[in-house]
Structure 1
Amino acid sequence: MTPAAQARLGVPGLVLGAVLIGFAAIVVRLVEVGPTAAAFWRLAVAVPVLWLARAAQPKQDLPPDRAAIGLMLVAGVAFALDLALWHRSIHLTSVANATLMSNLSPVFIALTLHFGFGDRHPPRFWIGLILALAGAAWLVADSFTISHETAVGDLMAIGTAVFYAIYQLLVSRSRRRYTALDVMFWASLAGMLTLLPMSLAFGERIAPIGWRDLLLLAALGVVVHVGGQGLIAWAQAHVTASFASVTLLVQPVAAAVFAWALLNERFGAHQALGGVLILTGIVTCRLARLPR
């Protein structure tokens, strides 16, 4: 596939990746291991799959770069902390609060690039970002609450967004030099080694219970992580980090649709309007980044 053809597939790949990671919340809810343990298994299942795929890809004629590999390892640690905080926030606040606040990463990424790296965004991009975030808020407005009881979980969800923003920025930078499989392998390995001691320290159930858990964790590792997160990493060589982060707001829409289809949760006109606002915001951001 030519570079031009790959670039054209960047946005569809990003959207499909966001849809696939929408399965994550459902699997985490259904599996019977602890929340941090579920995050560990997500990466533990993915690492050997990524290693095999990486071994099969054409070799890159690049000299070893310890600093670049270190950057990918740091990305993996940030991703592990993102998953650990998100899985725990679901148990300490409402799902609506956790969903909305954990999806604030586009704000952190856009502000970091705009003020920290001089990547100026046109006004239309900020309008699109506000529209997309408003759509995410509208999507969960029915059950969104602010109270003293949810404060710790809410802060954890915001921490999730911060660590995911760090992960996305580091992955975007690493993709300038390395393939998506290289980045995913090193980041997933570091994340797996970070999450295992965390799971043990929290005293969580780590061992899966029966075939149901094994199949759910296999889906979490292969479909959600290798498939979904892998597509996102691949697409980040073809789109800006800011636009990628906004596009990932497709994920809560996909999660709401999957929950409606698989768990019989509510999805009506209210949620549909939130989805339309998110998609409108994404399109607006995309048009703002296209050359005139």
Structure 2
Amino acid sequence: MPSPSANLVTRGQRLALAGLVIGALAIAFSPIFVRLSEVGPTATGFYRTILAVPPLWLFWQFRPASTKSMDAPGLPPLALILIPGLLFAGDLFFWHLSIQYTTVANATLLSNFAPVIVTLGAWLVLREKITPSFLVALLVSICGALMLVGASFQLGGDYVFGDLLAFTTAIFYGAYMIAVAKLRGRHSTQQLMLWSSLVSGLALLPMVWVMGEGLLPPTLTGWATLFGLAWISHALGQSLIAYALGHLPASFSSLVVLIQPVAAAFFGWLWLGEGLQPLQIAGGIVVLGGILLARRAQLKAG
């Protein structure tokens, strides 16, 4: 019979897994918000993080007593302030920039190689055990992602620079997930998200000027879009992913986040009228199958 502590761990992991899935679904709305935004891509990234700071500050102020002991009084360590925030700012900047130099399909596909980066980092930095079964699940999921956007994928010299930017996005987001997983052992989700979001916003603000973008959306609808991106995709979605990284292996968590492009394709069909081809539907099913295989591999390893 499992011990009470084992049951507690199982319940905690199930709660984290549910939060991870909901977080992935929340960030799946981000391409729609970005598409509907009335300001430039870098300015949209700035608002995505800076407008999330007020609700994240409230989450931090009213966090459960059980997590308050994780946060030392006063300013947090410099690593907590800078590293995740700068990595996430780099992720947003290069992702939005890549779309200007390559196709959306290329940018989406190459940026979704983040689980490969996370798996390597989890093995090297976090000392996670990576089993052959998990590597098979990772390969299956990546193949599903290839199928999901492969019909629109284009090769050629015109796209090399943009493709490199998109793959740089995967490196930044993968490094961000590793940093969050590393810091979650010593800091609460609320504190981590608050400071990283503030740093991301401040880092992206000068880049808005460098890219020559305007800052003010002309309509209330434009503002509502930015608040939706900040509060749903970032404050809710990224916070749930950060919470899960404190309870689940980073390698597995990054694979589950591949639900995001599957859900984004579905939402694009539902709300933007973007067609879904049979290959895309099959790719989404393969991605979900790879995630289920990864879950089984994780349970066996545990």
TM-score bracket, normalised by the shorter chain, equals over 0.9
Match of 1:12 among 14, 18, 34: 18
Q: Does 1:282 align with 2:285?
A: no
Shift of 1:112: 2.2
Tell me if the contact between 2:113 and 2:167 (Cα under 8 Å) persists in the aligned partners. Answer: yes
Tell me if the contact between 1:72 and 1:171 (Cα under 8 Å) persists in the aligned partners. Answer: no
Distance 1:191 1:274, change over 3 A: same
Identity among equivalent positions (%) equals: 41
Aligned residues: 291
Match of 2:236 among 211, 224, 227: 227
Q: Does 1:48 align with 2:75?
A: no
Shift of 1:80: 0.4
Q: Does 1:182 align with 2:191?
A: yes
Shift of 1:19: 1.0
Give the aligned partner of residue 121 of structure 1.
Answer: 130
Distance 1:68 1:169, change over 3 A: farther
Tell me if the contact between 1:136 and 1:278 (Cα under 8 Å) persists in the aligned partners. Answer: yes
Q: What SS does structure 2 have at the residue aligned with 1:54?
A: helix
- Within a 5 Å distance, the mapping from 1:252-291 to structure 2 comes to 252-291=261-300
Per-residue displacement from partner, 1:29-76 (whole Å, max 9, x unpaired)? 111101100000001110111112211224523545977452342111
Give the aligned partner of residue 218 of structure 2.
Answer: 209
Q: Distance in 2 between matches of 1:237 and 1:117?
A: 12
Match of 1:93 among 102, 114, 124: 102
- Within a 5 Å distance, the mapping from 1:128-143 to structure 2 comes to 128-143=137-152
Tell me if the contact between 1:78 and 1:166 (Cα under 8 Å) persists in the aligned partners. Answer: yes
Q: What SS does structure 2 have at the residue aligned with 1:137?
A: helix
Shift of 1:206: 1.2
Match of 1:173 among 182, 195, 207: 182
Give the aligned partner of residue 249 of structure 1.
Answer: 258
Q: Does 1:29 align with 2:35?
A: yes
Q: Distance in 2 between matches of 1:36 and 1:63?
A: 33
Shift of 1:245: 0.6
Q: Distance in 2 between matches of 1:230 and 1:58?
A: 15
Give the aligned partner of residue 3 of structure 2.
Answer: none
Shift of 1:115: 4.1
Per-residue displacement from partner, 1:233-256 (whole Å, max 9, x unpaired)? 111111100001111111100110
Per-residue displacement from partner, 1:128-175 (whole Å, max 9, x unpaired)? 000000000000111101111111111110000000011100111111
Return 5+ residue gaps in structure 1 as ranges.
none
Shift of 1:24: 0.7
Distance 1:117 1:66, change over 3 A: same
**Corresponding letter in the other structure for 1:280:** G
Return 5+ residue gaps in structure 2 as ranges.
1-7
Tell me if the contact between 2:121 and 2:175 (Cα under 8 Å) persists in the aligned partners. Answer: no
Q: Distance in 1 between matches of 2:33 and 2:276?
A: 19
Per-residue displacement from partner, 1:185-207 (whole Å, max 9, x unpaired)? 01101101100011111111111
Tell me if the contact between 2:80 and 2:192 (Cα under 8 Å) persists in the aligned partners. Answer: no
Shift of 1:289: 1.4
Tell me if the contact between 1:68 and 1:174 (Cα under 8 Å) persists in the aligned partners. Answer: no
Q: Distance in 2 between matches of 1:107 and 1:187?
A: 23
**Corresponding letter in the other structure for 1:171:** V
Give the aligned partner of residue 5 of structure 2.
Answer: none
Q: Distance in 2 between matches of 1:81 and 1:113?
A: 20
**Corresponding letter in the other structure for 1:37:** A
Give the aligned partner of residue 192 of structure 1.
Answer: 201
Match of 2:83 among 71, 74, 80: 74
TM-score normalised according to structure 1 size = 0.95
**Corresponding letter in the other structure for 2:252:** F
**Corresponding letter in the other structure for 1:237:** G
Tell me if the contact between 2:126 and 2:182 (Cα under 8 Å) persists in the aligned partners. Answer: no
Give the aligned partner of residue 4 of structure 2.
Answer: none
Aligned Cα root-mean-square deviation (Å): 1.7
Q: Distance in 1 between matches of 2:233 and 2:205?
A: 19
**Corresponding letter in the other structure for 1:288:** A
Q: Does 1:153 align with 2:153?
A: no
Tell me if the contact between 2:121 and 2:178 (Cα under 8 Å) persists in the aligned partners. Answer: no
TM-score normalised according to structure 2 size = 0.92
More off after superposition, 211-220 vs 106-115 = 106-115
Tell me if the contact between 1:72 and 1:174 (Cα under 8 Å) persists in the aligned partners. Answer: no
